[in-house]
């Protein structure tokens, strides 16, 4: 039998060779940002084979594996750092963020508790404190995988804080039918969170919005009062602090008044918009954010961190404990008096956790928070500039106000504008020079540009519009030859 007892730990020279190859690829990738196709030419590069190769039984050459990654995986991927990646809410990533993620994996800290990872746990506490400072919030919290998980944590904390028995007996312990209030623009992660929390998706009651698509606070107050009178149980109000469609920030201060007067938990979904509180021109929109009971934030959106890292914050630190703490013999904290007893598993659904804080810690120490604030402010100014270019044109129209960095618009030369713009979005994406996504604004299909990339410049805005015009003038593309999903 071959001796394969040390199949994993190569010699130091071999490690160096492989490490250098990985580093070289990383350098080439970052040096080439903005010069590659944004979206891969999937017609030429068929990917099916990546999902149908045989299970590797024997060792392969690691350098060949890295080559395969470069030639098949990287080149078959959307370049999310590209300055004209305008789709969804896609962070641009930074070199320090990538380096930190690599170091975190090398260290392989398991951030379950202080005892398991003393320094990593301490760094996470530091990063959470810095994040609180950045959004001017007093409370506590922890890092999670993203905004969806942070919204889930907030919703469970809301439910259990008002009705502690729910932690034990589930929604049977509620004295009536639960209701969660949110505007029509609420992100899908909220109904999903309600479903996961056992409340059910249908508990989300849509509160009307005003002309600027912000939650109508009088309608909210009426809905809560009516529900109470009918024996229903208002569990939580979810306010948008930057909605995913257009960037609307609900009137947080007035919503906080309604919630305070009626003793209802207020959660802000600040996953996209929250860090814009750092930008002087947007700060005013976030008045009242300091009054919410919980919020979700996503450093892997507008703090330019590589995925994944989200953050759940609560004003009353014990709320997370009520919602999530549970002990078992195998996680008993056996510590000496000079060790911290802090454990993360009491504050979220997760036990094993990667060292997500490292990238934020290293990036903030390297670039400084002023650079982040300036980049976010630039993104906002660019969004306003794009809106102005659209309004000054005679072939585009703006479909929604631009409170933060999302611009919803459409091309107007043609009939059936919804089909035309749907076609244009796909054609522009597949051409690989720019990547808008979409939103529905009332009944209109909108092209949507979300600028959360520190590399985007004014020139990129012109290229986006010209690319849409170019696609409008060329014949419709054949149906895309996208990889088969399995
Ligand atoms: C407003 C808002 N909330 C929540 C989420 C979900 O965040 P994640 O994708 O990190 O789970 C998003 C994602 O785009 C979002 O824009």
The two tokens of residue 236 are: 């939580």
Distance 213 CA to ligand 1 centre (A): 19
The maximal CA–CA distance of the chain, rounded, in angstroms, is: 77
Q: Name residues contacting ligand 1 (CB within 6 A).
A: 89, 146-148, 151, 187, 189, 243-244, 269, 271-272, 298, 310
pLDDT in tens, 241-269: 999 999 999 999 999 999 999 999 999 99
Over the chain, what HEC string results?
A: CCCCCCCCCCCHHHHHHHHHHHHHHHHHHHHCCCCCCCCCCCCCCCCHHHHCCCCCCCCCCHHHHHHHHHHHHHCCCCCCCCCCECCCCCCCCCHHHHHHHHHHHHHCCCCCECCCCHHHHHHHHHHHHHHHHHCCCCCEEEEECCHHHHHHHHHHHHHHHHCCCHHHHHHHHCCCCEEEEEECCCCCHHHHHHHHCCCCHHHEEEECECCCCCECHHHHHHHHHHHHHCCCEEEEEEEEECCCCCCCECCHHHHHHHHHHHCCEEEEEECCCHHHHHCCCCHHHHCCHHHCCEEEECHHHHCCCCCCCEEEEECCCHHHHHHHCCCCHHHCCCCCCCCCCCECCCCCCCCCCCCCHHHHHHHHHHHCHHHHHHHHHHHHHHHHHHHHHHHHCCCEEECCCCCCCEEEEEECCCCCHHHHHHHHHHHHHHHCCCECEEEEECCEEEEEEECCCCCCCHHHHHHHHHHHHHHHHCCCCCCCCCCCCC
Structure tokens at 261: 């007067």
Q: Is the per-residue pLDDT at 484 higher than 60? A: no
Among 87, 145, 147, 188, name the best residue to mutate to test ligand 1's pocket (greatest count of ligand atoms within 8 A of Cβ). 147
- Between 321 and 46, the more confident residue is 321
Among 88, 268, 272, 309, residue to substitute to test ligand 1 (most atoms within 8 Å of Cβ): 272
Nearest CA residue ID for atom 4, ligand 1: 147
Label residue 458 by pLDDT band (50, 70, 90): very high
Q: What is the pTM of this model?
A: 0.95
Residues in Cβ contact with 145 at an 8 Å cutoff, skipping those fewer than 6 apart: 308, 309, 310, 350
Query: Whose C-alpha lies nearest to ligand 1, atom 8?
Result: 147
477 pLDDT more than 70: no
Q: How many Å lie between the centroid of ligand 1 and the Cα of residue 295?
A: 12
Ligand 1 centroid vs 60 CA: distance in angstroms? 39
Cis peptide before 440 (omega within 30 of 0): no
Instruction: Inform me whether the pLDDT recorded for 139 exceeds 80.
Output: yes
Residue showing tokens 């039984």: 57
* Geometric angle at alpha carbon 407, from 402 and 412, rounded to 5°: 120
Q: Is the pLDDT reported for residue 371 higher than 70?
A: yes
**Cα 11 to Cα 429: distance, rounded to the nearest angstrom:** 45
Residue 1 above 60 pLDDT?
Answer: no
Give the pair of three-digit tokens for residue 139.
């409370």
Predicted pLDDT of residue 195? 98
Mean pLDDT across the chain, nearest whole number?
94
Gap from CA of 451 to ligand 1 centroid (Å) = 15
Judge whether residue 375 has pLDDT over 90. yes
- The answer to whether the beta carbons of residues 288 and 252 sit under 8 Å apart is yes
Question: Does 329 score more than 80 pLDDT?
Answer: no
Residue 482 is predicted with a pLDDT of 47
Tell me: the pLDDT tens digits for 31-57? Answer: 999 999 999 998 777 888 888 899 999
**Number of neighbouring beta carbons within 10 Å of residue 94:** 23
Please state, in angstroms and rounded to a whole number, the distance separating the CA atoms of residues 460 and 452. Answer: 13
pLDDT at 46: 81
- Beta-strand relationship, 396-398 and 178-183: unpaired
Nearest CA to ligand 1 atom 2: 271
Give the whole-number percent of the chain exceeding pLDDT 90. 89
pLDDT, tens digit, for every residue of 174-188?
999 999 999 999 999
Res 330: pLDDT: 64
326: alpha, beta or left? (left if phi > 0; alpha if psi -120 to 50): beta
Neighbour order of strands in the sheet with 406-411: 396-398, 406-411, 444-450, 437-441
Q: What is the pLDDT of residue 485?
A: 39
CA angle, 167 then 238 then 265, to 5°: 50
Compute CA distances 69 → 62, 66, 348, 382, 419, whole Å: 10, 5, 34, 35, 37
Burial class of residue 21, CB neighbours in 10 A (0-12, 13-18, 19+) = middle
């Amino acid at each position: 039998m071959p001796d394969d007892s040390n199949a994993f730990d190569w010699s130091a020279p071999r490690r160096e060779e492989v490490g250098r190859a990985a580093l070289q690829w990383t350098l080439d990738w970052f040096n080439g940002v903005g010069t590659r196709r944004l979206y891969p030419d999937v017609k030429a590069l068929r990917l099916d084979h990546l999902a149908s190769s045989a299970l590797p039984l024997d060792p392969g050459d690691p350098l060949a594996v890295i080559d395969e990654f470069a030639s098949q995986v990287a080149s078959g991927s959307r370049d999310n750092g590209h300055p004209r990646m305008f789709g969804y809410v896609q962070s641009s990533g930074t070199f320090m963020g990538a380096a930190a993620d690599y170091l975190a994996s090398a260290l392989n800290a398991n951030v379950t508790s202080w005892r398991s990872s003393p320094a990593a746990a301490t760094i996470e506490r530091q990063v959470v404190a810095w994040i609180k400072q950045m959004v001017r919030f007093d409370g506590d919290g922890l890092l999670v995988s993203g905004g969806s998980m942070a919204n889930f944590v907030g919703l469970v904390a809301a439910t259990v804080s008002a009705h502690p028995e729910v932690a034990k007996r589930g929604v049977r312990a509620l004295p009536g039918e639960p209701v969660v209030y949110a505007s029509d623009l609420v992100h899908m992660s909220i109904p999903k969170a309600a479903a996961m929390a056992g409340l059910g998706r249908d508990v989300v009651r849509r509160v009307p919005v005003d002309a600027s698509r912000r939650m109508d606070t009088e309608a909210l107050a009426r809905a809560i009062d009516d529900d109470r009178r009918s024996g229903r149980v208002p569990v939580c109000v979810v306010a948008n602090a930057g909605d995913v469609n257009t960037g609307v920030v609900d009137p947080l201060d007035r919503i906080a008044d309604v919630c305070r007067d009626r003793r209802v938990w207020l959660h802000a979904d600040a996953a996209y918009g929250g860090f814009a509180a750092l930008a002087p021109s947007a700060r005013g929109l976030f008045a009242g954010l300091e009054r919410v009971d919980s919020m979700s934030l996503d450093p892997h959106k507008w703090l330019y961190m590589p995925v994944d890292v989200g953050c759940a914050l609560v004003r009353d630190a014990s709320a997370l404990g009520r919602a999530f703490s549970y002990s078992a013999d195998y996680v008993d904290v056996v510590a000496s008096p000079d060790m911290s007893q802090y454990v993360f598993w009491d504050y979220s659904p997760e036990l094993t956790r990667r060292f997500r804080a490292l990238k934020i810690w290293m990036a903030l120490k390297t670039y400084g928070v002023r650079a982040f604030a300036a980049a976010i402010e630039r993104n906002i100014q660019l969004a306003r500039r794009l809106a102005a270019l659209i309004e000054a044109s005679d072939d585009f129209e703006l479909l929604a106000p631009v409170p933060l960095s999302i611009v919803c618009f459409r091309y107007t030369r043609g009939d059936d504008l919804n089909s035309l713009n749907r076609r244009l979005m796909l054609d522009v994406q597949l051409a690989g020079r720019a990547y808008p996504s979409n939103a529905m604004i009332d009944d209109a299909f909108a092209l949507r540009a979300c600028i959360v990339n520190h590399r985007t410049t004014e020139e990129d805005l012109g290229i986006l519009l010209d690319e849409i015009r170019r696609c409008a003038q060329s014949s419709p593309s054949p149906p895309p030859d996208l990889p088969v999903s399995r």
